[in-house]
Amino acid sequence: MTWVLSTTAAALCGALTVTLADAYDPAPPAGLVRWSADEKAVLASLSLKRLPAAPVDPSNAVERQPAAIELGRLLFEDKRLSRNGDVSCATCHDPAKQFQDGLPVSRGVGTGTRRSMPIVGAGHAVWLFWDGRKDSLWAQALGPLEDAVEHGTNRTRVAQRIALDHRGAYEAVFGALPRLDDLPGDASPKGNAVEQAAWSAIQPHRREAVSRVFANVGKAIAAYEKSLLHAPTRLDAYLEALLRGDRAAGGLLRANEARGLRLFIGKAQCVSCHNGPLFSDQQFHNTGVPPRDTTRPDRGRAAATAAVRSDEFNCLGPFSDAQPEQCQELRFMVTDDPALEGAFKTPGLRGVADRAPYMHAGQFATLEQVVRHYVAAPHAALGHSELTHRHDGAGPPKHAERAPIELSEAEIADLVSFLRTLSPVTSKAFEVD
């Protein structure tokens, strides 16, 4: 059953009505806009109503169980699952901020090097994180727990907190916990030297039991995260009205927003990567975004394929519920493509106007700066940008299939105006399945 957390018919109608009171765009309603059959096909593909249910993850057998979803919600908000007791998943993925934190780089017990990604809709992704170093939502949820600058905790401490604080809810989903009270309080294969030594001293079958509890924590959190759904936007209302031939569509977008939408699916080429109802092709691209630290440029996807392949929590690992033949994406993962150097995952754009800053390390403060970056198409600091340009002295383009993105000042403004139509029309940016 799907229910909207917070919406009323009056609020919806009010949000859908184009008025001159909007502080951003005093442009008039778009009125009747003529779209070609090809354009309508592209527009239909962007509608939230065309988004299928997230695919079943065979590596997580509990992801649809209500008890697992509720346990995951509790764990998602539990700050005790961090070294200092001040950091939970919700710290960097705040539900009030579209499950991100609005910071250029995330802050847990320390400061990270990349921006936190929104998690609504993440169940549709094959690869998680900006670089895709995890191949499931539950494996992704485990990464921050043992990361020294995020939760900063370790495997035995997490398992013992589950036994102390969540035993009943855990055992209702996963069965009886193993005995944990005689294990060291801080031990992990990924911790500091002391923690790693303590981990090595534990008998192998007991290490496996602790790791299974740890993996189950990730599966419960993933179940909760996968239950989160995007709320509809003003663009969705426009698209559905347009596609059913409702003349009311003409009042749902302003003229500048409609022009921006035409640029988005055409001349500006945004839709080549930001496509589908989630506005993401879920792939990795090098678009020449400047590194945050020029002395240590981020290799992105190129450095992540080895990590996901060796991850004990991947689809083929001992804690996965999948059969090997169900792990095709991992088994046939591309690892040797030079285009992976400096490439990062295409982020979805739903709600994008409300969650600055932008790019994988918050390099740009505004959407206008983002658009201008694509027009400028600078050379990449690492690898080769997919963007083409007409810079003086430029050699043959590396990606001849792409044309330079050349926009006037008015077109840049129209494109930014369109991106604001991707904000939810309700006070909540998400729904719960």
- Dump the DSSP string for 255-290: HHHHHHHHHHHTTT-GGGTS-TTTT----EE---PP
The Cα–Cα gap between 278 and 122 comes to 10
The Cα–Cα gap between 293 and 171 comes to 45
pLDDT for position 391: 65
**pLDDT, mean of residues 34-50:** 97
Which structure tokens are listed for 159? 């398992």
387-399 residue pLDDT tens: 987 765 555 555 5
**pLDDT, mean of residues 418-422:** 97
pLDDT at residue 25 is higher than 90: no
**pLDDT, mean of residues 59-63:** 98
pLDDT for position 402: 76
Angle at which helix 204-226 crosses helix 155-165, to 10 degrees, equals 70
pLDDT at residue 18 is higher than 90: no
pLDDT for position 19: 43
**pLDDT, mean of residues 284-294:** 95
The Cα–Cα gap between 48 and 199 comes to 46
**pLDDT, mean of residues 79-100:** 96
pLDDT for position 256: 96
SS3 at position 230: strand
Q: Given pLDDT bands bounded at 50, 70 and 90, which one contains residue 1? A: very low
Give percent of the chain with pLDDT exceeding 70: 90
pLDDT at residue 38 is higher than 90: yes
Cβ-in-10-Å burial (0-12, 13-18, 19+) of 96 comes to: exposed
The Cα–Cα gap between 309 and 330 comes to 7
Cβ-in-10-Å burial (0-12, 13-18, 19+) of 325 comes to: exposed
Give percent of the chain with pLDDT exceeding 90: 85
pLDDT at residue 357 is higher than 70: yes
The Cα–Cα gap between 44 and 424 comes to 18
pLDDT for position 13: 40
Neighbours of 193 (CB within 10 A): 7
pLDDT for position 290: 95
Which structure tokens are listed for 104? 């250029």
**pLDDT, mean of residues 158-165:** 97
The Cα–Cα gap between 303 and 275 comes to 26
The Cα–Cα gap between 245 and 239 comes to 10
pLDDT at residue 2 is higher than 60: no
The amino acid occupying position 430 is F
194-248 residue pLDDT tens: 999 999 999 999 999 999 999 999 999 999 999 999 999 999 999 999 999 999 9
Higher pLDDT, 391 or 167: 167
Please enumerate in sequence order all residues whose Cβ is within 8 A of that of 380, keeping only pairs 6 or more positions apart, or say none.
Answer: 286, 287, 288, 342
Q: Given pLDDT bands bounded at 50, 70 and 90, which one contains residue 433? A: low
119-144 residue pLDDT tens: 999 999 999 999 999 999 999 999 99
The amino acid occupying position 163 is A
Minimum mean pLDDT range among 63-67, 189-193, 261-265: 189-193
365 to 136, 405, 421: CA distances (angstroms): 30, 21, 19
SS3 at position 140: helix
Q: Given pLDDT bands bounded at 50, 70 and 90, which one contains residue 4? A: very low
pLDDT at residue 16 is higher than 50: no
The amino acid occupying position 342 is G
pLDDT for position 332: 96
Which structure tokens are listed for 321? 């519920």
pLDDT for position 35: 96
pLDDT at residue 255 is higher than 90: yes
pLDDT for position 214: 98
pLDDT for position 426: 74
Query: What does the mean pLDDT of the chain come to?
Result: 91
Determine contact, residues 212/157, Cβ cutoff 8 Å.
no
**pLDDT, mean of residues 27-39:** 90
pLDDT for position 336: 92
Of the candidates 175, 181, 177, 183, the one whose C-alpha atom is nearest the C-alpha of residue 203 is: 183
pTM for the predicted model, two decimal places: 0.91
